[in-house]
Amino acid sequence: MKTTDRNFIIGGLVIALVIAILAPFLASSNPDGLESAAESLGVPESEAAFQSPLPDYAIPGMEDNPWSGVVALIGGTILVLLVVLGLAKVLAKKNDKDQE
Amino acid sequence: MVGAALIAIIFVSPWAAVLVLSIVLILQGLIYGDGGITALGANIVNMGLIGGFVGFYGYKFLKGIGKVPAIFIAAWAATFLASIVCAIELSIAGTFPLVAGVTSMALYHAVIGVIEAVITVVVIMGIGRARPDLLPDWVSSRKQEAVE
């Protein structure tokens, strides 16, 4: 990987981590578009079919502590980066083979 | 922020948006319970497929009016149309009434789409400043000016 590309990825990661740290303090607690529409139509939220480990971007039992959100978001940010880098490596290798 | 239009424009392919949104939505559903597993297919279709294709072709057809307004409108339309399709799906599923559901989703996302559009423009301009070589020809102002 070129140094400039590595720096670009690090720069993007830093921006993502800054957002992850600030989001639990700054994010609006108002419902999003779909939730607002559902509320205005009187449609209730259904029971989740699958219990996720970090529901609603927080550590279970620590929902009121914004730092639990920070930890949850940093974990997710790093996980997305690793999955995408891994996938990119595998797909790039496959593309090279196809072109041979 | 959905980002489908952003990805489709930067990578010059609506399928890039499908790929990235699929990864994001799978992890978001599995880890945070946001969007969820049972709605995963619908979410990928709405935000990835429709968002990506509307963003891509919206920009393709509008870029004659100027790159920034074209990016802005394409990103707004991607958000807006995806929300309308989502409302139609919810009415087929029996969750939302059709007319009230489409109206409500369209109104909220007409506003949310403006935020999406602003962020999309800012990110593309930011990449253009930091790493203009990463932008494809159809959004890069640098290469365009060199030719002209």
∠ CA A30-A35-A41, rounded to 5°: 120
Asked if the C-beta of B134 comes within 8 angstroms of chain A's C-beta atoms, the answer is yes
The predicted pLDDT at position B79 comes to: 98
Q: What three-state secondary structure class fits A31?
A: coil
Residue where the block lists tokens 């559903």: B29
Q: Tell me the pLDDT of chain B averaged across its residues.
A: 94
Confidence of residue A46 (pLDDT cuts 50, 70, 90): confident
For chains A and B, CB pairs below 8 A equal 74
The predicted pLDDT at position B148 comes to: 44
The rounded distance, in Å, linking the Cα atoms of B118 and A5 is 25
Confidence of residue A33 (pLDDT cuts 50, 70, 90): very high
∠ CA A28-A29-A35, rounded to 5°: 105
The rounded distance, in Å, linking the Cα atoms of B84 and B79 is 9
Which amino acid appears at position A10 of this protein? I
ipTM metric: 0.87
Mean pLDDT on B97-112: 96
What pTM does this model have?
0.90
Minimal-distance CA residue of chain A relative to B30: A52
Minimal-distance CA residue of chain B relative to A35: B105
Query: Which tens digit of pLDDT belongs to each residue from B88-100?
Result: 999 999 999 999 9
More confident: A98 or B38? B38
Asked if the C-beta of A78 comes within 8 angstroms of chain B's C-beta atoms, the answer is no
Asked if A41 and B36 come within 8 Å (Cβ–Cβ), the reply is no
Query: Which tens digit of pLDDT belongs to each residue from B110-127?
Result: 999 999 999 999 999 999
Which amino acid appears at position B19 of this protein? L
Shortest Cα distance, chain A CAs vs residue B107, angstroms: 9
Question: What's the CATH number for B4-142?
Answer: 1.10.1760.20
∠ CA A5-A7-A11, rounded to 5°: 115
